[in-house]
Amino acid sequence: MSRKDSIHQRITADHAASMSIFNSFTAEQWEMPAPSDEGAQWKARDVLAHLAVSEGGQLGQIERCLKGEAPVPDDFDLNRFNRRSVQKQAEKSVADFLNMIETGHAQVLATLDTVADADFDKSGRHARGDVITIEQFFIRTTEHRVQHAEELKRALSG
């Protein structure tokens, strides 16, 4: 299996796993308190909003890194970005967020299809602050989502 196929398979499986969890929640569960890395008082729907925005943000980092640009500014504050991005999404519905994730995932896969094998080893600073390769950027996109989905599942299951 090629490197690209392996990445594709991994992020497709992660996508399916996270969406299965999200689609199992009721409307009431989406309004329940949920864990937040940012220390904010988030509901489950806020975590979903964070993930919907994150998908596009991480894709932007990948695209900038592929162009040889800095994926994020040196003074990037991830916690501030996450808090503000969730606040800006307050009027959207859970269905909107799920659609945003589906659209973002399709865009990630489309971008993956354009990456040359040699480019998977290019690296840049991720929004979290660590330097990772393009391959790791792609994997982190859905790995991040699965991590939050599993946290939500534990929190909302009682």
- CB atoms under 10 Å from CB of 117, counted, come to 9
Q: 152 is written with which tokens? A: 């939500």
Count structural domains, the chain. Answer: 1
- The pLDDT, as a whole number, for residue 158 is 65
The enclosing domain of 85 has a CATH number of 1.20.120.450
Q: 23: domain range?
A: 3-156
- The pLDDT, as a whole number, for residue 157 is 85
DSSP 131: E
Q: Which residues of the chain form beta strands (DSSP E)? A: 33-34, 42-43, 123-125, 131-133
- For residue 40, pLDDT beyond 90: no
State the Cα–Cα distance between residues 82 and 38, nearest whole angstrom: 7
- Nearest Cα residue to 98 out of 148, 44, 29, 49: 49
11 phi and psi angles, rounded to 5 deg: -75, -25
| pLDDT per position as a tens digit, 65-122 | 999 998 988 888 888 888 898 889 989 999 999 999 999 999 999 999 999 999 999 9
Token match 């988030």: residue? 42
